[in-house]
Amino acid sequence: MARKGGLKRKTRHIYQKHSKQRGKISIRKYLHEFKPGEKVTLKSEPAYQKGLYFRRFHGKEGTIVEKRGFCYLVEIKDADKKKQMFIHPVHLQEVKQ
Q: What is the pLDDT along the chain (97 residues), one digit of tens a residue?
A: 887 888 888 888 988 888 898 888 889 999 999 999 999 999 999 999 899 999 999 999 999 999 999 999 999 999 999 999 999 999 999 998 7
Separation between Cα atoms, residue 48 and residue 86, nearest integer Å = 15
The answer as to whether 53 is a domain residue is yes
The answer as to whether 1 is a domain residue is no
* Amino acid 32: pLDDT: 95
Enclosing domain of residue 85: 19-94
53: how many CB neighbours lie within 10 A of its CB? Answer: 21
Query: How many domains does one find in the chain?
Result: 1
* Amino acid 52: pLDDT: 93
The answer as to whether 64 is a domain residue is yes
Within its chain, how far is the Cα of 78 from the centroid?
A: 15
* Amino acid 6: pLDDT: 83
CATH number of the domain where residue 78 is located: 2.30.30.70
* Amino acid 3: pLDDT: 79
